[in-house]
Amino acid sequence: MFTAAAIALMITMAFAVIRAFVGPTLYDRILAVNMFGTKTVLIIAVLGFLMGRPEFLDIALVYALINFIGVIALLKYFKYGNLAIGPGEAPKSIEKGQDT
């Protein structure tokens, strides 16, 4: 059962890498990386049960948090154009509703 899940996850990871390669747009690649991070979380959890170490679930949780930080940085970059903006000081282009 866990073996089948692991194989299925591996195949999905391969597809995510292919998507990150061929693009074609940047957003496909961001989505590919985000999905790949999720797959890593899942495969660590599955491997934990496969190797008889269910404690790996905790590690999978921390991976999910790390994945979240990366995506937040990316989204901030695409919204504001840089990462050096604190809360409450959005540039005027955003207020007009323009996307960078």
Q: What are the residues binding another protein (CB under 8 A)?
A: 3, 6, 10, 13-14, 16-17, 20-21, 23, 26, 29-30, 32-33, 36-37, 40, 43-44, 47, 50-51, 56, 59, 62-63, 66-67, 69-70, 73-74, 77, 81-86
Q: 65 vs 96, which CB is nearer to another protein?
A: 65
Q: 24 vs 97, which CB is nearer to another protein?
A: 24
Q: CA–CA separation, 73 vs 33, rounded Å? A: 13
Residue 90 · residue 81 · CB < 8 Å: no
CA atoms within 13 A on the CB side of 4: 1
